[in-house]
Structure 1
Amino acid sequence: MKRKEKFIIIDGNSLASRAFYALPLLTTSRGQYTNAVYGFISMFLRLLQEEKPDYITAAFDMSAPTFRHKAYKEYKAQRAESPAEYREQIPLIKEFLNTMSIPYYQLEGFEADDLIGTYSQKAEESLLETLIVTGDADAFQLISPNIKVLMTRKGITHVELVDLDRLKDNFGLTPGQVADFKALKGDPSDNIPGIPGIGEKTALKLLHEFGSLENLLENIQQIKQKKVREKVEEYREQSILSKKLAAIKTDVEDSFDLKQCRFETESIDYSRVRELFKTLEFNTLLERLPEASKPDGEDSQKVFKNAAVIKDTAQLIQLTEKIVNAKELAVLLETTGPNPFRTDIVGVTLSLGPESSYYLPLSHGTKIDCLGKEEVLEKLKPYLENQEIKKICPDAKFIINCLKKEGIFLQGLYFDPFIAAYLLSPGKPSQKVSELIKEFLGLELTDREQFLGKGAKARKIKDIKPEEFKNICCSEAALLFDLCRVLSGQLKMRELDNLFFTLEMPLIEILSAMETEGITVQKDILEHMSVEIKDKLEKIRSHIYELAGQEFNLNSPKQLAFVLFETLKLPAFKKTKTGYSTSAEVLEELASKYEIAEKILHYRQLVKLQGTYVDGLIPLINSKTGKIHSTFKQNVTATGRLSSTEPNLQNIPIRMEEARKIRKAFVSQSPESFLLASDYSQIELRILAHISEDQQLVDSFLNDEDIHRRTAAEVFEIPLEAVTSQMRNSAKVVNFGIIYGMSDYGLSQNLGIERKEAKKYIQSYFEKYPGVRKYSEEIIQKARDDGYVTTIFNRRRYLPDIKHRNNNIRSFAERTAVNTPIQGSAADLIKKSMLDIFNELNHHNFKTKMLLQVHDELIFEVPVLELSESSKLIKDMMESIFQLKVPLRVDLKVGKNLYDMDKLVL
């Protein structure tokens, strides 16, 4: 038997509303709210895949009053206006439907329900199987043998198919009784009054007995319960009105044409769909479009047709002859791992332009498939080191370091698309070329993970024949030129091109040099520390058992909670689903009064210290160099600061003495050199003075005053000489708290004072420094107006939550708006310092090497004979790197290790 054709009718507002409230408030990097759109499209694509409709349409409400409002002024009167964040997404949903060639309908004077009712009846007349997609149970009154309702439950993640049998079994109703049911019990969500005093059970009982509202009203005297009988009699007319309000119309006169609803993939405007998804940053949804959405109707492996594998010397020579005349060269490397110092190159991809791309396998497939690595790299070396040939390299620093290990020093680096994309969307770093191509070019490629697989079953490149693999890398390399063009245009449009070309791109070479150089670490010092910490842990553990009166598993939160709060009866401040909380926050609250809590905190800190920063560092010491070669990433943090991984040398704890001693293991490379630390003094406060132009703050720095002592004098309204060390420390917390947007609650917790007192401190601060208050207010307003804030080097950070309806989320965005221009500008200044110092040291052929960057501090290895000259050069350049309204100050320290360092006065 031939299957019936299927017609899907989507309740547009219902599905969009469900998605809006079910999903977190998603936004694009430009601040466009998208959660309702994302949820709607996701469900729509799911319907296409699972239901395979022959016809499809959507119906929407209009803001104009309907016939129900005219019949009853209070209809839906209690409903609050939809959030603006939701309303602005409805046009985007309709735009999506347009791109998919799906007609949608709306009609003044009627609700979407009435259109759905009318269209479902017309579909029934055409003998179609109809599926109504909604979250509104009103649609149950439309169910028939050919009409079913797909109810969205729990937002949009769960659906329930309701047909005649399910309606009867689950709800005890027939479709014709749904409106009667609401007429009796009412509907608070629509403000339908019903009959007061009649609830769900009574309404069902009456309908089971009398069948319909009309029959009930004709036989009121047969109602057995006196109170119910009286209520029905009293509110007879109201129940009739309620049914009129609840009943869906099925005979609306409008321009509906079933033929226009026929769904055919050929009518979809895929280019517009991809452009819309690109704008909305729905990269994952691109993969779910029907097959015809692939560019040119081809699969992703055929996007690029001119891929060639270089397998013999003659082909290699021909390629180098072409490279000689190339102005630009895209370079990709295939390696065995992500760490450039522990990986091998198994393939090189070169592209001379969008139409020519070559894959050079070095060690995968069979020997017949590959040229030798030495031969290939030797032939390519002159061109990779040619400054005149501009290189486009994704993750350029990784490529530079891998080639450097092979004796090739890449020159002419021009463009790293990862860094460009990061500047455009600093909150959304990408690590795949295929992701960038999808986002900025709207083309979907099969990436390596899709091709190779995941986890233990993933294939290794070395086991794959080059001919199978070439399209993956050659397609990416060929598209890098278009990607570079698009990203360059967007950088220029947002005035980020200068930051990109004069700071971020040149910085890659410096970071590569720092990673290659590394810092010497004495393994025996770490091993000795490990033994010491182990002994301390044993003593602290024994002391804790003594205080508890029993032994237990200290690493088990459940056992610890039982001992603290059940056995010892300590006050419990916080409970979770699994029991009492033993978080650091709880233990810190208890530590001031209970020794056992203080000891447990110390125990945990030592365990973390040993595992992460002592024993954890030892395996990372390179056996050949005796150094740790940390990786510096410039496209991770939203503020522009560098991050450090493998290991994170910016995060070594400094509060405990045991932790600070780890720095003893970081030593100078030879007896003839020192470690030099150059640290910007209070740089963020100085930047705050510069951008806020607060005269009091500016004057304090111009007069070289102790800014924290000055703030204490101002806030506590006492003479400078009367400021105690405790007052100064409190003022220091206030100063930095203002920068980071600390609330009165946060300040009270930090200082251990009452919230009222903390609020008074903040108010007093703003009264004494009105320029800072003005800056805070103006930058928050600017963020609201523009959707982003900038640093003094024009680095942008987008703040999509700056208008969020949730106060906590919005407040966080406001604090970020205040802080980012300060912290981000500090990041820009130290990057500029790194760049200029590196170039100046090289220009004068100094042997001084830059080793590390730790927040506002630079670490150098300095030969004894260069100490005086290098130190002066570094200090002078850092202090004059940018002309602020207040002077920049740099403190210098020198020593044989990072722990025992003495202040250096020039």
Structure 2
Amino acid sequence: MAEKIVLIDGHSILNRAFFGIPDLTNSEGLHTNAIYGFLNIMLKILDEEKPEYLTVAFDVHAPTFRHEMYADYKGTRKPMVEELRQQVPVMKEVLQAMGIRIIEKAGLEADDLLGTLSRRCEEAGMEVSVISGDRDLLQLATDHVKIRIPKTKRGGTEIEDYYAADVQEKYGVTPSEFIDMKALMGDASDNIPGVPSIGEKTASKIIAAYHSIENAYEHADELKPPRASKALKEHWDMAVMSKTLATICVDADIEYDISQAKIENIFTQEAYTLFQRLQFKNLLGKFDVTGPANAVEDHFRIIRGREPAEEIFDRASRAGEVGAAIFKDTENVLPLFASQAQAGGVALCFGEEEIFCICAEEDLTAEEILEKLGETAARAGSFSMFRLKEAMSFFTPGNRENCFDGIIAAYLLNPLKSDYTFEDVAREQLSLLVEDKAEDQVKACYEAYTAWKARPLLLEKLQETGMLRLFEEIEMPLVFALFDMEQNGVKVEAAELKEYGDRLAVQIEKLEKEIYEESGEVFNINSPKQLGVILFEKMGLKGGKKTKTGYSTAADVLEKLAPEHPFVAKILEYRQLAKLKSTYADGLAAFIGEDGRIHGKFNQTITATGRISSTEPNLQNIPVRMELGRLIRKVFVPEDGYVFVDADYSQIELRVLAHCSGDRQLIEAYQEEKDIHRITASQVFHTPFDQVTDLQRRNAKAVNFGIVYGISSFGLSQDLSITRKEASQYIEQYFKTYPGIKVFLDNAVAQAKEMGYVTTLFGRRRPVPELSSSNFAQRSFGERVAMNSPIQGTAADIMKIAMIGVERRLKENHMRSRLVLQVHDELLVEAHETEIEEVKKILKDEMEHAASLEVPLEVDMHTGMSWYEAK
């Protein structure tokens, strides 16, 4: 049986994969979708073909001999998009790591290399499969050379196969005649001009009849249709040039030793390391390798028993720097409840060869180990962990001043990645790869070692990027403020919450009946497809947008219809009520603890701007625009003997914008404590201040806040229900009123384009990679990000400083009052009834003096016996 070789057109398949697979990036910010797609296609081909040999050919981006023949030809290929271009050298690195032969040569395109190799291998008696997305290669098809053209669809791969007979059947021409067909029809993607007015069908018929462009030209007067005859005669030079450009060289002067293309084990240790770095977890299962042998693992020591454990803790306490990790005991816990497992022990590292895992035993319980860990943390020079806030549910550090959280540091350095693990830090900072399959105790040792070893490296990078002070004075102290807030929780009246849900259920049922009666049938209101049929087919409403899956019933579509169609308004109301019931009335009940309080999680490493987010449950998304939504706040109540004090920053982002832009008019308006929206309306609409209407003020308010978020004229026109032209005029007049703001926003975009990031007043960086995207929508998004991130990020930093200050003062004064919630620009304190005035003073002092701006920071404050009343 003949041996087989697979030849792959490298750039072509990369290009095909890039546009067929959604964008992927690894933790380093490297785009990887083309590499991932290429590998999937290659592995699929290898699995099907089972060849003995494999070679991948790449273009060298320099003039080729075919194009040099026509130096005057002005046709040019589109430049490779940046997101794809950066993946090419990495793709080659991956192939080399897999031991796969790569071939490239200046002056030759990959087509010419593939043509030459396919001819040589066929003459040597081999079966050849050529893999390319370029149909030009169909000219190479023979009875022993198969051309395979992959198509990537929805992440999957379909492949069209062509031997010589298949080309004849599909196009009506032989493979060699396919060259002449291409000469007539051209191919813009391959820089072949072709003959004007001759398309694929006409070209196919002409060559099928005359077999070559030369013969066709001799019979030009006979060609049909007449326009083809005229075109060929007038543009014969283009046809000749196109044939030269389309003809693939099959006898190029290249050195190639077939033995070097022999396929050995492609799943090598080196390739495994690269796949881990690229985060191709779905492909790692194909490797039958263990993780790279890390020398550090030789120094891991498992410690059992009280006496040796106490010695290790004592040595760690006297060390200058300590890294630690807690591992859970999941052996006796069902997988479903693994998150509730108790600590199984701790790992400590305080030197390159001082890495220990201390396990809980009968004579040394987990509780005793964790207590010792707290004492060690208090006495060590520096104490490093990952996800310290989560670990503190097991132990108390004792000394908060010397703590370091490597995840927080890594997040600041790359805020676009929201899910950091210690393995990411180990790989990125230490080039250390940790096996997913490693035992818990081994993983804990790696985690403790990484926490210890990466700390100085991360600190150095924070210093280099100007974020060390941000880390030390804001982010690390915030860890403890958030932990205290989570432990405090907030009381929820479960009975009132159930009653609220029952009221919603009654209203939902009533609306359902009305909707069914008006539509004339019972249908699934929650089904966009069924609802679309009811609205746009049965009821005949105008404005329906047909998609592949049916009519769009998105909120923006229905909101446009609602004013004129009460039925649609009922659908929107139904959706709102159903959301309130499922997410809040029913959803919140699931989070009420045994103490009657909700202990939600507050996250500081999720958003790219630096804002704190809330999960389990998300208390930051409680509706405030509709009264029924606001009523949910009534179920949040203080303990007996306590009162809620709610403090909310007034227009903090606009005030930050005034300071950052240095616009004198806006600054003076705030300094004079005037109604900023009325002033803006007066200026934008050329109306005396005391004659500004409520509508003008509302519109000005929309512009004021819209500018902060980089709103477009289209977005503003949608918000205000005005024409795009009117919205453009509003924005133009706004910038005339506040010229400093326009300069600031333009400079922010310019800085982001030049530096790749923007910064807040406190040095927080927000990378803006979207600005270098080849996609217009992505670049536009990047411009909005560049404009609003410095403002949103600075406002978030100010809120964090205020939280830290409030929490510190409550503790320093040994008060019973406690901080229980942070939502956007708002802090909620559960104040003891004897401390209300002192709490108000602390909130006012800390929030209004969290930053020194050119304009005053103002706080609105209210008290109440529920969150609803206090708000």
Whole-Å separation in 1 of the counterparts to 2:30 and 2:589: 47
1:362-392: per-residue Cα shift (whole Å, max 9, x none)?
5xxxxxx766645644763563553435332
Whole-Å separation in 2 of the counterparts to 1:233 and 1:586: 52
Q: Which moved more, 1:177-186 or 1:700-709?
A: 177-186
**Which residue of 2 is the match for residue 833 of structure 1?**
802
Whole-Å separation in 2 of the counterparts to 1:743 and 1:233: 50
Amino acid at match of 1:630: G
User: In the alignment, is residue 639 of structure 1 matched against residue 632 of structure 2?
Assistant: no
Shift of 1:60: 0.8
Shift of 1:776: 0.8
**Which residue of 2 is the match for residue 689 of structure 1?**
658
**Which residue of 2 is the match for residue 415 of structure 1?**
404
Task: Describe the SS at the equivalent of 1:402.
Answer: coil
User: In the alignment, is residue 537 of structure 1 matched against residue 508 of structure 2?
Assistant: yes
- Correspondence 1:459-498 to 2 at 5 A: 469-498=440-469
Amino acid at match of 1:249: C
Distance 1:551 1:520, change over 3 A: same
Q: Is the 8 A contact 1:332 1:393 kept in 2?
A: no
Q: Which moved more, 1:377-386 or 1:519-528?
A: 377-386
Shift of 1:114: 1.9
Whole-Å separation in 2 of the counterparts to 1:870 and 1:194: 80
Amino acid at match of 2:326: L
Distance 1:236 1:621, change over 3 A: closer
Task: Describe the SS at the equivalent of 1:677.
Answer: strand
With structure 2 as the length reference, what TM-score do the two structures score?
0.88
**Which residue of 1 is the match for residue 323 of structure 2?**
329
- Correspondence 1:368-387 to 2 at 5 A: 373=365, 376-377=368-369, 380=372, 383-384=375-376, 386-387=378-379
**Which residue of 1 is the match for residue 638 of structure 2?**
668
**Which residue of 1 is the match for residue 582 of structure 2?**
611
Task: Describe the SS at the equivalent of 1:15.
Answer: helix
Q: Which moved more, 1:707-716 or 1:548-557?
A: 548-557
Whole-Å separation in 2 of the counterparts to 1:379 and 1:33: 45
**Which residue of 1 is the match for residue 345 of structure 2?**
348
1:817-856: per-residue Cα shift (whole Å, max 9, x none)?
1111001101101111111222222222222211111111
**Which residue of 2 is the match for residue 304 of structure 1?**
297
- Correspondence 1:697-846 to 2 at 5 A: 697-846=666-815
Q: Which moved more, 1:557-566 or 1:283-292?
A: 283-292
Q: Is the 8 A contact 1:341 1:401 kept in 2?
A: no
The Cα RMSD (Å) is 4.0
Shift of 1:58: 2.1
Whole-Å separation in 2 of the counterparts to 1:440 and 1:128: 47
1:474-531: per-residue Cα shift (whole Å, max 9, x none)?
3333333333344333323322222222211121111111111111111122122122
Q: Is the 8 A contact 2:54 2:101 kept in 1?
A: no
Q: How many residues are matched?
A: 862
1:529-576: per-residue Cα shift (whole Å, max 9, x none)?
122222222333344345445554433434433433334333233222
Amino acid at match of 2:444: C
Distance 1:676 1:258, change over 3 A: same
With structure 1 as the length reference, what TM-score do the two structures score?
0.85
Amino acid at match of 1:348: G
1:170-206: per-residue Cα shift (whole Å, max 9, x none)?
5555544432443565556556566788765676667
1:750-782: per-residue Cα shift (whole Å, max 9, x none)?
112222211111111000000000011110010
Whole-Å separation in 2 of the counterparts to 1:48 and 1:774: 57
Whole-Å separation in 2 of the counterparts to 1:743 and 1:151: 43
Q: Is the 8 A contact 1:143 1:163 kept in 2?
A: yes
Task: Describe the SS at the equivalent of 1:818.
Answer: helix
Distance 1:240 1:893, change over 3 A: closer
Task: Describe the SS at the equivalent of 2:868.
Answer: coil
Amino acid at match of 2:826: E
Q: Is the 8 A contact 1:197 1:231 kept in 2?
A: no
**Which residue of 2 is the match for residue 648 of structure 1?**
618
Whole-Å separation in 2 of the counterparts to 1:626 and 1:764: 53
Q: Is the 8 A contact 1:274 1:286 kept in 2?
A: no
**Which residue of 2 is the match for residue 464 of structure 1?**
none
User: In the alignment, is residue 629 of structure 1 matched against residue 623 of structure 2?
Assistant: no
Q: Is the 8 A contact 1:496 1:795 kept in 2?
A: yes
Q: Is the 8 A contact 2:633 2:868 kept in 1?
A: yes
Shift of 1:394: 1.6
Q: Is the 8 A contact 1:654 1:660 kept in 2?
A: yes
Whole-Å separation in 2 of the counterparts to 1:230 and 1:742: 55
Task: Describe the SS at the equivalent of 1:792.
Answer: coil
1:210-242: per-residue Cα shift (whole Å, max 9, x none)?
7x5399679969999897997899698876665
Task: Describe the SS at the equivalent of 1:850.
Answer: strand
Identity of aligned residues (%): 37
Gap regions ≥5 residues in structure 1: 363-368, 452-467
Shift of 1:670: 1.6
Q: Is the 8 A contact 1:591 1:598 kept in 2?
A: yes
Whole-Å separation in 1 of the counterparts to 2:274 and 2:513: 65
1:382-425: per-residue Cα shift (whole Å, max 9, x none)?
63553435332222111101336xxx868666222221221121
Task: Describe the SS at the equivalent of 2:571.
Answer: helix
Task: Describe the SS at the equivalent of 1:667.
Answer: coil
Whole-Å separation in 2 of the counterparts to 1:186 and 1:256: 32
1:641-699: per-residue Cα shift (whole Å, max 9, x none)?
1111111111110122121111111111122x211111111110110001000000110
Distance 1:250 1:360, change over 3 A: same
**Which residue of 2 is the match for residue 458 of structure 1?**
none
Q: Is the 8 A contact 2:752 2:786 kept in 1?
A: yes
Q: Is the 8 A contact 2:35 2:87 kept in 1?
A: yes
Q: Is the 8 A contact 1:334 1:348 kept in 2?
A: yes
Match of 1:679 among 618, 643, 648: 648
User: In the alignment, is residue 882 of structure 1 matched against residue 851 of structure 2?
Assistant: yes
Match of 2:550 among 579, 582, 590: 579
- Correspondence 1:47-66 to 2 at 5 A: 54=53, 56-64=55-63, 66=65
Match of 1:424 among 413, 420, 427: 413
Amino acid at match of 1:115: L
Amino acid at match of 1:392: S
Match of 1:557 among 528, 533, 553: 528
Task: Describe the SS at the equivalent of 1:592.
Answer: helix
- Correspondence 1:277-296 to 2 at 5 A: 278=277, 282=279, 284=281, 287=284, 294-296=291-293
Q: Is the 8 A contact 1:102 1:261 kept in 2?
A: yes
Shift of 1:277: 7.9
Task: Describe the SS at the equivalent of 2:297.
Answer: coil
Whole-Å separation in 1 of the counterparts to 2:189 and 2:377: 71
- Correspondence 1:193-342 to 2 at 5 A: 212-213=211-212, 242-254=242-254, 270=270, 278=277, 282=279, 284=281, 287=284, 294-296=291-293, 304-327=297-320, 328-334=322-328
Distance 1:446 1:94, change over 3 A: closer
Whole-Å separation in 2 of the counterparts to 1:233 and 1:46: 43
Amino acid at match of 1:304: E
Q: Is the 8 A contact 1:383 1:389 kept in 2?
A: no
**Which residue of 1 is the match for residue 829 of structure 2?**
860
Task: Describe the SS at the equivalent of 1:852.
Answer: strand
- Correspondence 1:419-458 to 2 at 5 A: 419-447=408-436
Q: Is the 8 A contact 2:100 2:266 kept in 1?
A: no
Q: Is the 8 A contact 2:411 2:420 kept in 1?
A: no
Q: Is the 8 A contact 2:5 2:126 kept in 1?
A: yes
Shift of 1:740: 0.6
Amino acid at match of 1:499: L
